[in-house]
């Protein structure tokens, strides 16, 4: 099969992903082999390729927003049949035995494996996964439309849940890339007012077109205080600046797997009773909950399409903020 393989972490300007022909993987017991149609690409892939995240498996095939059809069944597979359409997100496997798994917090599993990081992912024609970590997808989306939901949507929804906001309140989104352009639609669907901060005009224009109550830069006056905020940009400085926009009793959630160092800040930014926290990875329960919400209405995903062989350029454009919305690789 064809795959874009990372053999050494290095800047994307060096074209570190190499197109290779490698053996097609075989499914083990209770695993399925998926013929991949589309795989999303995002900043987590960028962090893996360039080394902001330490290497786990080398060489590795990145990609964790996988949409395809079941092409082969391992022994004793019960949840899927041949030709079923499935999605594979970031969480690849958990141990089911550690303290966190037993407490229903499998996103914090001590022995978790992640797609495209600990196991080969979707920048390829085929992949294998346990049937317990693959998902049926809402029928109201094409493969191109649904792929970004499997990371950007899932992580955004977990961050939204962490804010505690239900069907009213003022939510700030800081950084307006793939995840934010999906979760703004979910938040508005649930009845929230959304305020968007970005440093690029094209992202502010997109946010406004999707129904943002207010858009602007970090130093602009929103005219109000937020009940909660989600920071998507990998900037420690922005995390601290976002606290200035927060009302007392509010919460800022960092949705990134990586961020630059946090600068020192005055205690008044978290007093009285302001919270700065993060989310890590996801749970299967959260994935299922988000896919249910996604099936209730049509989330409009703006996608930038690339061929598999152009994965380096796709990630480089994300790195340099040359696109807005989500990025996908066309595999088939």
Query: Which residues have CB under 8 Å from 146's CB, separation 6+?
Result: 67, 87, 137, 138, 294, 301
Please give the backbone phi and psi of residue 92, each rounded to the nearest 5 degrees, phi first. -95, -35
Q: What is the pLDDT of residue 323?
A: 86
Q: Which two tokens stand for residue 314?
A: 């796709």
Bridge partners of residue 301, in order along the sequence = none
120: closest CA among 6, 234, 35, 202? 6
Q: Which two tokens stand for residue 15?
A: 């074209």
Does the predicted model carry a pTM greater than 0.85? Answer: yes
Residue pLDDT, tens place only, 186-206 = 999 999 999 999 999 999 999
Which of these CATH numbers, 3.40.50.300, 3.90.180.10, 3.40.47.10, 3.40.50.720, describes 2-149+282-330?
A: 3.90.180.10
**Residue ranges covered by each domain of the chain:** 2-149+282-330, 153-278
* Burial grade of 18 (CB within 10 A; 0-12, 13-18, 19 or more): middle
Residue pLDDT, tens place only, 288-311 = 999 999 999 999 988 999 999 999
Residues belonging to the chain: 332
| Whether domain 153-278 has CATH 3.40.50.720 | yes
Mean pLDDT of successive 10-residue segments in the chain (332 residues)? 98 98 98 98 95 96 98 98 98 97 95 97 98 96 95 95 95 94 96 96 94 97 98 96 97 94 94 96 94 94 95 96 91 86
């Amino acid at each position: 099969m064809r795959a874009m393989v990372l053999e050494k972490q290095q800047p994307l300007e060096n074209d570190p992903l190499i197109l290779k022909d490698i053996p097609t993987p075989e499914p083990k017991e209770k695993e399925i082999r998926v013929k991949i149609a589309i795989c999303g690409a995002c900043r987590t892939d960028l962090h893996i390729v360039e080394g902001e995240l330490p290497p786990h498996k080398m060489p590795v095939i990145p990609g964790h927003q996988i949409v395809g059809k079941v092409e082969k069944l391992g022994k004793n597979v019960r949840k899927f049949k041949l030709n079923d359409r499935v999605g594979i997100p970031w969480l690849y496997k958990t141990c089911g035995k550690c303290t966190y798994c037993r407490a229903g917090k499998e996103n914090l599993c001590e022995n978790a494996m992640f797609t495209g990081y600990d196991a080969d992912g979707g920048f390829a024609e085929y992949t294998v996964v346990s049937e317990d970590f693959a998902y049926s997808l809402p029928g109201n989306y094409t493969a191109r439309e649904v792929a970004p939901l499997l990371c950007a949507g899932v992580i955004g929804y977990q961050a939204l849940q962490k804010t505690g906001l239900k069907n009213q309140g003022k939510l700030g989104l800081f950084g307006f890339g793939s995840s934010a352009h999906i979760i703004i639609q979910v938040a508005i669907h649930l009845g929230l007012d959304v305020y968007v901060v970005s440093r690029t005009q094209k992202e502010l224009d997109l946010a406004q077109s999707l129904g943002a109550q207010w858009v602007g830069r970090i130093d602009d006056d929103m005219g109000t205080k937020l009940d909660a905020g989600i920071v998507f940009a990998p900037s420690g400085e922005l995390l601290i600046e976002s606290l200035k926009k927060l009302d007392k009793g509010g919460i800022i959630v960092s949705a990134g797997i990586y961020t630059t160092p946090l600068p020192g800040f005055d205690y008044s930014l978290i007093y009285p009773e302001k919270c700065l926290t993060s989310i890590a990875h996801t749970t299967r329960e959260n994935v299922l909950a988000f896919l249910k919400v996604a099936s209730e209405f049509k989330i409009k995903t703006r996608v930038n399409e690339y061929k598999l062989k152009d994965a380096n350029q796709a990630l480089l454009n994300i790195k340099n903020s040359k696109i807005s919305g989500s990025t996908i690789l066309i595999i088939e």
